[in-house]
Amino acid sequence: MQLAKLLFLILLSLCLGGCNSTRVSHSKNALVIAIDSSPTNLDPRIGIDKASENFHHLLYNGLLRKNENDRMVPDLAKSYEKLSPVLYRFHLRTDVYFHNGKRLDARDVEYTYESILNETVTTTKKATLQVVQSVRATANDAVEFQLKEPFNGLLVNLNIGIIPAGSPSDFFRHPIGTGPFRLIDYQQDSGAEFAAFPQYFEGAARIPILRIRVIPDATTRALELKRGSVDLVFGAGAVPPDYFQALKNDTEIRTMIGPGSNYAYVGFNLRTPLLRDRRVRQAIAYAINRPAILRNIFHGAAVPATGILPPEHWSYEKSVLQVSYDPVKARRLLDEAGRSDPDGNGPQMRFWLDYKTTTSEVRRLVAAIIQSDLQKVGIGLKIRTYEWGTFFSDINRGNFQLCMLLWVGESDPDILRDVFSTTGSRNRGKYSDPKVDEWLRQARVAESENEQNKFYGLAQKKIAEDCPYVSLWYESNIAVFRKELVGLRLTPDADYRVLKDVYWKD
């Protein structure tokens, strides 16, 4: 256990009985939240990291937004229609205003998307819109998207925050949106202050002032919660699982846990000859004791996963191969693959593999447990830890044998094509199966949702059998907050828009 963590738990145990009198008093007009990092860009066309998305949810609205089942539902658009396989029309609400008092109209939508498509701004979000040929305002409250070819993944990419037409190139410095909060002040690596927007079309936020503090250290975040200078932290990994357990014993603090969509997995590199054998990959999956990891590290703040798409997703396929902890089956599969144990239960390994992960404490603990589990079936694992930048660069270049990673908040089932089709842009392990390729192609252009689900379901079943990934768990969203705070709810993607509805109990 790290010294900082041990110190926190000692301080917390001392405070539980006698520190409440030292709590920081706070105004019922403000809410203070702690996050671990600053956003990279406040322009919703550009920022893609989780911190940026959190700020975007406070400041902006998209044409559509995700609901709790990862379906796209109207936001700034009050309705939409599919005029043909390549033409969509969106009808806008007429009661929406920007923070500067300007009424939203279709030219703002056209400007936002055309600035991405014509590269007025440089952004990776253009890649998700490559199929869009043009965006055109056809009336003050109507806008049409013309596609180059049929593409069922269009709607999930229409949650980009809409900005005013003609916004300057340095828009990110003084962002203006239609969201429930407007920005008052922002200091990189320090924090931000927001004010409730009184003209928000779904009603003004109940707490007038929102302050966000950037506190990278988990121990400090937890202690600030304890003393009351922070009112709320929430999201997957908001505080480490053992801190979460300790804070549950504080009578002045409430905790909440809910489903999350962050998917943890062990990925195989099929360029490694040994790992091209499905039996070897399956054996590794059966050898990992997921229940023990979830119990001992996550303390219930994660649930077993079966694939990238979580159970709440509309296209989730539940009838896939369920891999449980079964070391006997793992040994049998290895024997069938011709990888017999040279000395039975002795110290020699059947073979050795490299396992790459980050320097995160939780990831290193998970790696050590997996190493121990695999050793029990005769597989030697060499753990290599790297800082995030180096690690992720290696993974993207295919420089790994096994690695552990997360897919964060993926809601488009077309992620399956990106990750598992032979030519997928994020197929880092080089998995390839012609049936999966064809099913994912048919799902992409299917006319109905039932057809989509049919092909996505077939692909998910085959992928689970072939085991290019070992599905580990979905990390739950957690919240830790002062007991007087009311109205908080957790969504699978920890959407910050829920802050509009929280308030202090009288």
- Secondary structure of 477-492 as H, E, C letters: EEEEEECCEECCCCCC
- Going by their DSSP bridges, the two strands 351-358 and 253-268 should be labelled as unpaired
| CATH code: domain of residue 463 | 3.10.105.10
Q: Quick check: helix, strand or coil at residue 175?
A: coil
Q: Of 173, 198, 223, which residue sits at a domain end?
A: 173
Q: Of 173, 188, 203, which residue sits at a domain end?
A: 173
For residue 335, is it within any domain?
A: yes
Helix H or strand E segment including 106 = helix 106-117
Could you tell me if 378 and 481 lie in one domain?
Answer: no
For residue 126, is it within any domain?
A: yes
For residue 324, is it within any domain?
A: yes
155: closest CA among 220, 90, 202? 90
224: which residues sit within 8 A by CB, 6+ positions away? 34, 213, 215, 230
206: which residues sit within 8 A by CB, 6+ positions away? 196, 487, 500, 501, 502, 503
Could you tell me if 310 and 447 lie in one domain?
Answer: yes
For residue 239, is it within any domain?
A: yes
Could you tell me if 318 and 441 lie in one domain?
Answer: yes
Q: Quick check: helix, strand or coil at residue 18?
A: coil
For residue 41, is it within any domain?
A: no
12: closest CA among 257, 256, 217, 244? 244
Residue 18: the pLDDT is 47
Residue 459: the pLDDT is 97
For residue 11, is it within any domain?
A: no
CA 169 to chain CA centroid, Å, is: 29
Residue 7: the pLDDT is 52
Could you tell me if 224 and 352 lie in one domain?
Answer: no
Q: What is the DSSP string of 266-299?
A: EEE-TTSGGGGSHHHHHHHHHHS-HHHHIIIIIT
Torsion angle defined by CA atoms of residues 269, 272, 274 and 278, in that order, rounded to the nearest 10 degrees: 40
d(CA 462, CA 143): 40
Task: Decide: 125 and 116 in contact? Cβ < 8 Å.
Answer: yes
10: which residues sit within 8 A by CB, 6+ positions away? none
For residue 266, is it within any domain?
A: yes
* Domain boundaries, position 219: 23-36+175-257+477-504
What length is written for the chain? 506
CA 202 to chain CA centroid, Å, is: 26
d(CA 285, CA 302): 18
Q: Of 173, 194, 219, which residue sits at a domain end?
A: 173
CA angle 486, 492, 495 (to 5 degrees): 60
Task: State whether the Cα torsion 238-239-242-246 is positive or negative.
Answer: negative
Task: State whether the Cα torsion 169-131-317-466 is positive or negative.
Answer: negative
Task: Decide: 166 and 172 in contact? Cβ < 8 Å.
Answer: no
| CATH code: domain of residue 129 | 3.90.76.10
Task: Decide: 102 and 165 in contact? Cβ < 8 Å.
Answer: no
Could you tell me if 330 and 185 lie in one domain?
Answer: no
CB-CB neighbours of 139 under 10 Å: 12
Could you tell me if 318 and 407 lie in one domain?
Answer: yes
User: Looking at the 3D structure of the chain, how many domains does it have?
Assistant: 3
Could you tell me if 327 and 445 lie in one domain?
Answer: yes
Could you tell me if 409 and 276 lie in one domain?
Answer: yes
Residue 125: the pLDDT is 87
Could you tell me if 315 and 388 lie in one domain?
Answer: yes
CA 465 to chain CA centroid, Å, is: 25
Could you tell me if 320 and 353 lie in one domain?
Answer: yes
Cα distances (angstroms) measured from residue 302 to each of 236, 261, 478: 9, 10, 10
Cα distances (angstroms) measured from residue 266 to each of 288, 355, 404: 10, 9, 4
Task: Write down the pTM of the prediction.
Answer: 0.80
Could you tell me if 145 and 198 lie in one domain?
Answer: no
pLDDT one digit per residue (tens) for the chain, 506 residues: 455 455 555 555 545 444 544 555 566 899 999 998 888 899 999 988 788 999 999 999 999 998 877 788 999 999 999 999 999 999 999 999 999 999 999 999 999 999 999 999 998 888 889 899 999 999 999 999 999 998 888 898 899 999 999 999 899 999 999 999 999 999 998 999 999 999 999 999 999 999 999 998 888 888 899 889 999 999 877 888 778 888 888 889 999 988 888 899 999 999 999 999 999 999 999 999 999 999 988 887 889 999 999 888 888 999 999 899 999 999 999 999 999 998 887 889 999 999 999 888 788 999 999 999 999 999 999 999 998 788 888 998 999 999 999 887 777 888 899 899 999 888 999 999 999 999 999 998 887 888 999 999 999 999 999 999 999 999 888 899 999 999 999 888 888 999 999 999 97
Residue 202: the pLDDT is 96
| CATH code: domain of residue 204 | 3.40.190.10
Cα distances (angstroms) measured from residue 244 to each of 51, 239, 255, 290, 492: 21, 6, 8, 20, 18
Torsion angle defined by CA atoms of residues 438, 440, 442 and 444, in that order, rounded to the nearest 10 degrees: -150
Helix 361-375 × helix 278-287 angle, to 10°: 110
For residue 13, is it within any domain?
A: no
Could you tell me if 129 and 251 lie in one domain?
Answer: no
How do the residues of the chain divide into helix, strand and coil, expressed in percent and rounded to 5? 35, 25, 45
Going along 140-177, which residue ranges are E strands? 142-147
